[in-house]
Amino acid sequence: MLDNNQLLRFTTAGSVDDGKSTLIGRLLYDSKSIFEDQLEAIENTSKKKGHEGVDLALFTDGLRDEREQGITIDVAYRYFTTPKRKFIIADTPGHIQYTRNMVTGASTANVATILIDARHGVIEQTKRHAFIASLLQIPHIIVCVNKMDLVDFSEEVFNNIVSEFEEVSSKMLVKDVRFIPMSALLGDNVVNKSENMPWYQGAPMLHTLETMHISSDINKVDTRFPVQTVIRPQREGFIDYRGYAGRVASGILRKGDDVTVMPSGFTSKVKSINFYDKELEEAYAPMSVSITLEDDIDISRGDMIVRTNNKPEPSQDIEVMLCWLNNSSAKPRAKYTIKHTSNDQKAMIKEVVYKYDISTLERNNEDGDLTMNDIAKVKIRTTKPLMIDPYRENRTTGSIILVDDTTNETVAAGMIV
Amino acid sequence: MSKYYLNYLDELESEAIFVLREVWAQFENPVILFSGGKDSILITHLAKKAFYPAKIPFPLMHVDTGHNFPETIQFRDDIIKELGAQLIVGSVQESIDEGRVAEEKGKNATRNALQITTLLDAIEANKIDCAIGGGRRDEEKARAKERFFSHRDDFGQWDPKNQRPELWNIFNGKHFEGEHFRAFPISNWTEMDVWNYIKRENIAIPSLYFAHEREVVWRQDSWIPNSEFLVLEDHEEVVTKKIRFRTLGDITITGGVESDADTLEKIAAEVAGMRNTERGNRSDDKRSESAMEDRKRQGYF
């Protein structure tokens, strides 16, 4: 593996019927990422269950209940590496009752893969998966038109599905969509190029994943540095050292930059950027560093250091696309802890503006109750200002979660509009 | 291509450091679970980087089964001295002596499951609210579902079906008195990533990981080291082989593989060509298909 190899995170949503597990199994198997003892364990279980051949779905389902029921309930993470990249798959269930798991898996992904059964074309579930990818602003989408072997590898079928999908996605905010006709079962266009579909000029799935440009996925313009903790060594040689530790959320921070500390508004200059015992000239997302400033300012966790000429909007009233994650529904005017970068405040849901019907994706203004898997636009009021950016511009400073103080559970995830 | 991107190892490192700093910021009394194995050594190394120039702010906690490789204990004591960190030891032998647990019987008896009680007792006695572990999602199928911040109830139990959703990099460590968290900063690393990083950073690891001559017994498809704790079966024979260990745990259940890899470069090359998972040599995971899940539910590492 080369030193400049990047990490690419992608999400898959779907059920066994879509061939999702077969696709993942194929990717892992053909890229030689399944170990022999894992394969042996799956072969044994397949035999015990009376399956013919090896059921690769067993490889992707981890918990006992999932194996018994033959479904993926939670998000499972899978790893594989090729000579070009390291990959993390967030493997999620596809059914409507697991929307929250899909949202979770999508939150960190560079690429969403959407599976379509070539026999059925674009169905309700496809639209929902595309909607989630657009809602979570996954920068790239690969539409895998699977089971092409069952439609005689027909170019016409494929082209029709492409147009159907484009009609759906034209109403959504998606940037980069690619379509690949494949048969995960036979291996066509997954790792190896299909000989059955000479009419397809594009690359197979793995090559697409390996070469896709992802360096621009992170916002490199708006410099945001949420302070996680303050490092005060109190030891010889570093008596006056006060380092602000954090991970650059977006943009680039350079030594000598004029910066403002939010929300206090104090200004200073970056004196040094440190990583371990090294001093750096600049730091960019997603680097974890610690920085020191020229002036002695009171800074603590929850503060954000930004460039003076490019500041986020401090706001107590925010509009959010909220996905409700918890079994117990939202309580009207109840207080929650809102977590935004390293900042915790109290918040109240003031109003549900509209809710999506997640089977039809239509807006519904009547029903204001938020229950599990609901996606709704809401108005939130916080006790103190948050330093926010719109989610479509910044996935880190544009995202929040809500925590129920009576259970401490994470009950909702939100994207700032 | 723009120069403003990280390679995969730098990105994994940055992610782990971010998680360690979140642990420090969100908990009162966090510790690193230190076994002397490569993953906990890696965590310790990352913690050193995360808080430099301050000293590593976490005590190291070792759950001592009493069946140790002497090399591991030596390594542990050296690292404690070098870091100036505090060491907390939870002793399985003491748990047995106090009647908290009973030694397993039979030929495959180990102290593996007994560690759970000792670990949970030590967490309670030391009022620990977060135990940082070196668990990785690629290790085992139950671990593939782990969160970075993983909640444990006041009995120390994991409820895999009722985990808190974890989105973006916002971690929720809120908990009630008596509950605790496990944090897994290297969740997204694979065995290969760990070795590549150890090689790159030239991190010191116990000599057991390098190929060496050792008295061993062939048992459950791997070479189990001969030790005072090992009870030989009639058909078993002690032989001397050149082996190395891929994981380090209790000496009675940690199997070695035959190897000539005596440098980090050779180990990394060997791991790259391996066709079996590292836990494949751990007899604790071979008991049943859900062995790990069952132990994790009860409070295992």
- Nearest in space to B131 (alpha carbons), one of B112, B142, B115: B115
The partner residue sitting opposite B25, judged by closest CB among A229, A340, A395, is A229
User: pLDDT (tens digit, 9 = 90+) per residue, A76-129?
Assistant: 888 988 889 999 999 888 888 788 888 889 999 999 999 999 999 999 889 888
- Three-state DSSP class for residue A203: coil
Q: Which of B62-76, B88-102, B181-195 has the highest mean pLDDT?
A: B181-195
Q: How far apart are CA A166 and CA A130, in angstroms?
A: 10
pLDDT of A172-204, one tens digit each? 888 899 999 999 888 899 999 999 999 999 999
Cβ neighbourhood burial of A325 (10 Å; 0-12, 13-18, 19+): buried
Report d(CA A149, CA A197) in Å as an integer.
Answer: 10
Using a CB–CB cutoff of 8 Å, tell me whether B289 touches chain A.
yes
Cα B9 from Cα A4, distance rounded (Å): 9
Residue B235 has pLDDT above 90, yes or no: no
**Two tokens at B195?**
């070795």
Candidate from A37, A45, A79 with C-beta closest to B280:
A37
A201-215 residue pLDDT tens: 999 999 999 999 998
CB contact under 8 A, A77 and B137: yes
Task: State how far the Cα of A115 lies from the Cα of B274, in Å rounded to an integer.
Answer: 32
Nearest C-alpha in A relative to B6: A6
CB < 8 Å to B168, chain A: 107-108, 395-396, 399
Chain A residue at shortest CA distance from B4: A284
- Per-residue pLDDT reduced to its tens digit, A314-324: 999 999 999 99
Question: Is residue A165 a contact partner of residue A133, using CB atoms and an 8 Å limit?
Answer: no
Q: Is A108–B168 a contact, with Cβ atoms under 8 angstroms apart?
A: yes
Strongest mean pLDDT among A10-14, B50-54, B68-72 = B50-54
Question: CB within 8 A of A21, min separation 6: which ones?
Answer: A56, A57, A59, A60, A61, A72
Question: Which of B167, B180, B189 is the best mutation test for A, with the most CBs of A within 10 A?
Answer: B167
In the chain, the amino acid numbered A376 is: A
Q: Which residues of A touch B188 (CB under 8 A)?
A: 77, 79, 88
Measure the CA–CA gap between B174 and B179, rounded to whole angstroms: 10
Any idea which residue has 């996925």 for tokens? A217
Residue with tokens 């009493």: B66
**Number of Cβ pairs closer than 8 Å across A and B?**
183
- B289 vs A1, A41, A284: nearest CB: A41
| pLDDT computed for residue A122 by the predictor | 93
Contact A233 B53 (CB under 8 A): yes
Q: Which long-range contacts (CB under 8 A, 24 or more apart) does B71-77 make?
A: B71/B206, B71/B207, B71/B208, B72/B35, B72/B36, B72/B37, B72/B206, B72/B208, B72/B248, B73/B36, B75/B36, B75/B205, B75/B206, B76/B34, B76/B36
Alpha carbon of B62: minimum distance to chain A alpha carbons (Å) = 26
In this structure, what are the phi and psi dihedrals at residue A101, rounded to the nearest 5 degrees? -70, -35
Per-residue pLDDT tens digits for A393-410: 999 999 999 999 999 999
Is B277's CB within 8 Å of A337's CB?
no
Please report residues of A whose CB lies closer than 8 A to that of B193.
86
Nearest to A35 among B4, B187, B275 (CB): B275
Determine how many CB atoms are found less than 10 A away from the CB of residue A156: 10
Q: CA-CA distance, A251 to A307, in Å (whole number)?
A: 10
pLDDT at B163: 85
What one-letter code names the amino acid at A327? N
- Tokens 């918040």 map to which residue? A347
Distance in angstroms (rounded) separating the CA atoms of residues B232 and B220: 13
Tokens describing residue A161: 């599905």
Contact check, Cβ <8 Å, A237/B53: yes
CB-nearest to B144 from A77, A216, A233 is A77
Cross-chain Cβ contact A286/B15 below 8 Å: yes
For residue B221, what are its two tokens? 């498809």
More confident residue, A415 or B217: A415
Beta bridge partners of residue A114, listed in sequence order = A13, A143
Which residues of chain B make contact with A403, given a CB cutoff of 8 A?
A: 172, 174
- Measure Cα distances from A349 to A315, A316, A369, A410, B47 in Å: 15, 12, 11, 15, 38
Q: What percentage of chain A carries pLDDT values higher than 70?
A: 92
Dihedrals φ, ψ of B178, to 5°?
95, -20
What percentage of chain B carries pLDDT values higher than 70? Answer: 92
User: Of A5-14, A154-163, A220-229, B288-297, which gets the smallest average pLDDT?
Assistant: B288-297
Cis omega (within 30 of 0) for bond into B53: yes
B167 in contact with A, Cβ within 8 Å = yes
Which of A74, A288, A301 lies nearest to residue B14, judging by beta carbons? A288
DSSP annotation of A281:
S
Can you tell me the mean pLDDT for B227-241?
87
Neighboring chain A residues of B48 at a CB cutoff of 8 Å: 276
What is the C-alpha to C-alpha distance for residues B236 and A170, in angstroms, rounded to an integer? 69
Q: In this complex, do B170 and A339 lie within 8 Å of one another by their Cβ atoms? A: yes
Chain A partners of B268 at a C-beta cutoff of 8 Å? none
Query: Does the interface ipTM go beyond 0.90?
Result: yes
DSSP of A95-117: SGGGHHHHHHHHTT-SEEEEEEE
Does B271 touch chain A if contact means CB atoms closer than 8 Å?
no
b/e map B100-124, b = 16+ CB within 10 Å? ebeeeeeeeebbbbbbbbbbbbbbe
Contacts of A335 in chain B (CB under 8 A): none
Quote the strand ranges of A136-194, DSSP E: 140-146, 176-181
Please tell me which of the candidates A86, A220, A287 has its beta carbon nearest to residue B14: A287
> How does the average pLDDT of chain B come out, rounded?
88
Over residues A258-299, the pLDDT tens digits come to 999 999 999 999 999 999 999 999 999 999 999 999 999 999
pLDDT at B151: 92
Substitution target in B13, B26, B27, B168 with the highest count of A β-carbons within 10 Å is: B168
Residues of chain B in contact with residue A252, where contact means CB-CB under 8 angstroms, are 4
Residue B289: pLDDT band with limits 50, 70, 90: low
Which residues, 6+ apart, have CB-to-CB distance to A261 below 8 Å? A267, A268, A297, A299, A303, A304, A305
Residues A108, B169: C-beta atoms closer than 8 Å:
yes
**At residue A157, what is the residue type?**
V
**Distance separating alpha carbons of residues B211 and B246, to the nearest angstrom:** 10
Please tell me the predicted confidence (pLDDT) of residue A89. Answer: 93
The distance of B11 to chain A (nearest Cα, Å) reads 7
Max distance between CA atoms of chain A, in angstroms, equals: 74
- Whether the CB-CB separation of A160 and A176 falls below 8 Å is answered with no
Determine the number of helices (DSSP H) and then strands (DSSP E) in chain A: 8, 23
Q: For residues A183 and A181, give the distance between their C-alpha atoms in angstroms, rounded to a whole number.
A: 7
The reported pLDDT for the residue numbered A162 is: 97
Q: How many CA within 13 A on the CB side of residue B145?
A: 28
For chain A, domains (ranges, CATH) are 6-216 (3.40.50.300), 224-307 (2.40.30.10), 313-416 (2.40.30.10)
B177 touching chain A per CB within 8 A: no
Q: Closest to A396 (Cβ–Cβ): which among B137, B168, B192?
A: B168
B17/A288 touch (CB, cutoff 8 Å), yes or no:
yes
CB A11 within 8 A of CB A209: no
Report the length, in residues, of chain B.
Answer: 301
Question: In whole angstroms, how far apart are CA B79 and each of B21, B96, B119, B185?
Answer: 21, 28, 21, 20
Q: What is the dihedral of CA A239, A242, A247, A248, to 10 degrees?
A: -130
* B275 shares contact with chain A (CB less than 8 Å): yes
Distance CA A113, CA A242 (A): 44
Q: Which of B1, B3, B4 to mutate to test the interface with A (most CBs of A within 10 A)?
A: B4
> Which H helix or E strand runs over A306?
strand A304-307
Question: Hey, what are B143's tokens?
Answer: 């671990």
User: What is the residue type of A365?
Assistant: N
> What was the pLDDT predicted at B1?
41
In chain A, the residue whose alpha carbon lies closest to the alpha carbon of B50 is A276
B98-137 residues touching A, CB cutoff 8 A: 137
Tell me, yes or no, if B290 comes closer than 8 A to chain A by beta carbon. yes
Q: What are the Cα distances from residue A289, in Å, to A292, A367, A383?
A: 10, 46, 30
CA angle B159, B163, B167 (to 5 degrees): 165
DSSP A229-255: EEE---STT-TT--EEEEE--BSEEET
pLDDT above 90 as % of chain A: 64
In chain B, the domains with their CATH numbers are 8-193+290-298 (3.40.50.620), 206-285 (no CATH)
Distance CA B160, CA A137 (A): 28
The answer for B 18-37 residues in CB contact with A (under 8 A) is 18, 21-22, 24-25
Residue B146 to residue B139: CA distance in whole angstroms? 11
